[in-house]
A and B are shown apart, each in its own frame.
Chain A
Amino acid sequence: MLSISDRWKECELVYSEPPQDYIKAEAKKIFEIVESFCNVSGLDVERIEYNYPTIKDIIVRLDMRLMYFHTYHNKMNINEYKLVSGLIIFWILKLRPFWVKIKTDDTKETINMATNINEQIALHIAVGLLKEYNQNFFENGKNLVGQYCKEMLYSFRFRDLSKESLYLMFDPFYFLHLFEKSVDENGVNVI
């Protein structure tokens, strides 16, 4: 009879890191979003510092997770919402690669951004995704959109969010996008 210790004896599953070029290209995408965050918030981009090995770690861990889905979920390609929320945002919130040094003459607004820099960059990534695929979300009125963003920011900072809870948090937006794209004005499927 097969014993538990022999169960995986013949199984060879080896992960190898993606090439440096790939890691650099992915890191560049993260920095593009950081720049956009600065353009929107008014924070000087030069003030944002980061730990490159941590950025690399985020990219490699994302890649490892994609291998997990490929291997254990029948070559599954996860949708953009799961990838962005449960993998990129999750690891930014957990590993906290960015920081801003406070200066004595900083305004309270700058101090607020510096304190929450990782959460705010994570929020900017999320809002960017919604702006691309869920334009209707932003037509709900400034107060509600602002309130929702603040709620998300609070959750990113203070709540215990697992990858899976982030998947669940963003899944409704994925389905709303599908609804929007798959049904015409008469409620008929167009895909």
Chain B
Amino acid sequence: MKKAMSINEWNEFDRQCEERNVPFDSNTPIKSGETLEPSIRGCKKIEEDEDLKTLLRMVYRGEC
């Protein structure tokens, strides 16, 4: 597991964004121009993940 950024690291992250003219703020989309596409891609991955699919099936059906 990668560690989360400390305040200093955040400041460095901010500085690098500014230096590279990357327009970052807390609303910057991960991939611009998408609405439900990330959820759709994720849903397809859920369907391929048998363990998660089983777990969610139980949640949806009220079985757990």
In the complex, per-residue mask of A77-111: 1 if CB is within 8 Å of any chain B CB, else 0? 11110111000100000000000000000001100
Q: Is the CB of B56 within 8 A of A128?
A: no
Closest chain-B Cβ to A1's Cβ sits at a distance in Å of 37
Chain B: interface size category = 35 or more
Contact B47 A39 (CB under 8 A): yes
The reply to whether the CB of A138 lies closer than 8 angstroms to some CB of chain B is yes
For B16-32 the 0/1 string (1 means CB < 8 A from A) is: 11000010011111111
- Are B12 and A189 within 8 A (Cβ)? yes
Across the interface, name the chain A residue whose C-beta is closest to B16. Answer: A189
The interface size bin for chain A is 35 or more
Q: Are A41 and B57 in contact (CB under 8 A)?
A: yes
Contacts of B3 in A (CB 8 A): 183, 187
**Binary flags per residue of A112-150, CB closer than 8 Å to B gives 1, else 0:** 110000001001111111111100101000100110011
Knowing A131-B46, A191-B17, say if A177 contacts B30 (CB, 8 Å). yes
A16 to chain B, nearest CB (A): 19
Given A36-B40, A128-B42, are A41 and B28 also a contact pair (CB < 8 Å)? no
Question: Is A40 in contact with chain B by the CB < 8 A criterion?
Answer: yes
Does more than half of chain A's interface fall in helix, strand or loop, or is it mixed? helix
A174 CA / B24 CA spacing, docked (Å): 13
Which residue of chain A is the closest to B40 with respect to CB atoms?
A32
Task: Choose one: A79, A112, A142; the contact of B29 (CB below 8 Å).
Answer: A79
Contact for A150 among B25, B44, B49, B59, CB less than 8 A? B59
Task: List 30 interface pairs A-B (beta carbons < 8 Å), by A numbering.
Answer: A29-B35, A33-B40, A36-B46, A37-B43, A41-B56, A77-B28, A78-B27, A79-B28, A80-B30, A80-B38, A113-B61, A120-B60, A128-B38, A128-B40, A128-B45, A129-B38, A129-B42, A132-B38, A132-B41, A133-B42, A136-B1, A138-B49, A149-B56, A180-B2, A183-B3, A187-B6, A187-B9, A189-B5, A191-B13, A191-B17
With A128-B41, A136-B1 given, can you name 6 additional A-B contacts, CB distance below 8 Å? Answer: A80-B29, A80-B31, A80-B34, A83-B29, A129-B38, A189-B5
